Amino acid sequence: MQRELILVVDDNPDIRHFVRASLESEGFRVIEAIDGESALSTFHESKPAVVILDLSIGQPDGFEVCREIRKSSTTPIIMLTNRGEEMDEAMCLAAGADDYITKPVSSRILNLRVTTQLRHRNVKPAHVVNIYEAEGLQLNTETRELSIGENRVALTKTEYDLIHLLMEQPTRVFTREQVIEAIGGSVEYSSDHLLDTHASRLRLKIKSAGGPRVISAIRGVGYRLIPLT
């Protein structure tokens, strides 16, 4: 049985060869694109399970491609770049990426990140309609929609997983390890900054939709939905 199809977007043939070899060694099927335009057309034609996307691919660049995919799909997107500045990481997440890897990366880590995204994407919840409500927020776990009054908040898969966890028990403090597991990350390979950026991006989206201040970071511990007073 063939494993899932992965789209690799990079203008460097050596990087594409490395990623293809790494993923195919684990049984994944791989297709490639060398620039933004071919990435978008290949994505819509082939409907891959995961996209591995380089930032520096000309115009449209990786940020633009990520944002365009996010307009119509929640397919996991992993940014792969040789730039390591904090701003790049934050911008990747703001564009809708689910994960961020800086080159060079080992085959083991690359496969771990892809497998983690697939595992959480493929989890099938029990068919029970749950409506969680807290602080003026309403989360429908069947439609995966977050609403604030008449306004809906567009969520990536990672953002949905995070707000779902916090709304299940709004006053509970969840540890960073619990949050990382819920959003499909790895305790060993996820950075504090990466997690904080996810939370900050979601907090801003809720505020922009007219919602209250939610998602408090508890220093040295983790997060809770309802701020401490």
The partner residues of 99 in beta bridges, in order of sequence, read 78
Residue 126 lies in a domain: no
State the CATH number of the domain containing residue 201: 1.10.10.10
142 shares its domain with 109: no
> Are 117 and 145 contained in the same domain?
no
Q: Is residue 229 part of a domain?
A: no
The answer to whether residues 89 and 142 belong to one domain is no
Predicted confidence (pLDDT) per residue in 145-191, tens digit? 899 999 999 888 888 889 999 998 888 888 888 888 777 765 444 55
Cis before 104 (ω within 30): yes
Q: Which of 121, 148, 176 is the last residue of a domain?
A: 121
Ranges 16-25, 56-65, 128-137, 150-159: which has the least confidence: 128-137
Higher pLDDT among residues 130 and 187, named by residue: 130
Q: Give yes or no for residue 125 having a pLDDT over 70.
A: no
pLDDT in tens, 56-115: 898 999 999 998 998 888 899 999 887 665 566 777 777 888 888 888 889 999 999 899
Q: Which residues pair with 50 in a beta bridge?
A: 6
Tell me if 60 sits within 8 A of 68, measured CB to CB. Answer: yes
Return the SS3 of 158: helix
Beta bridge mates, 146: 139, 153
Last residue of a domain, one of 89, 121, 153: 121
The residue among 121, 147, 171 that closes a domain is 121
Question: 188 and 157, same structural domain?
Answer: yes
Same domain, 154 and 217: yes
57 is in which domain, residue-wise? 5-121
Number of structural domains (the chain) is: 2
**C-alpha closest to that of 38 among 68, 3, 14:** 68
| CA pair distance 39, 41, nearest whole angstrom | 6
In CATH, what number is assigned to the domain containing residue 66? 3.40.50.2300
What per-residue confidence (pLDDT) applies to 128? 58
* Prediction pTM value: 0.60
Is residue 73 in a domain?
yes
Tell me, yes or no, whether 104 and 160 share the same domain: no
Task: For CA atoms 203, 52, 103, 179, give the dihedral sign.
Answer: positive
Q: Helices in the chain by DSSP H: which ranges? A: 13-24, 36-46, 62-70, 86-95, 107-121, 157-168, 176-182, 192-208
- Omega of the bond leading into 125 within 30 degrees of 0 (cis): no
Cα–Cα distance list, 41 to 31, 33, 74, 78 (Å): 12, 9, 17, 18
Q: Is the domain of 21 the same as that of 113?
A: yes
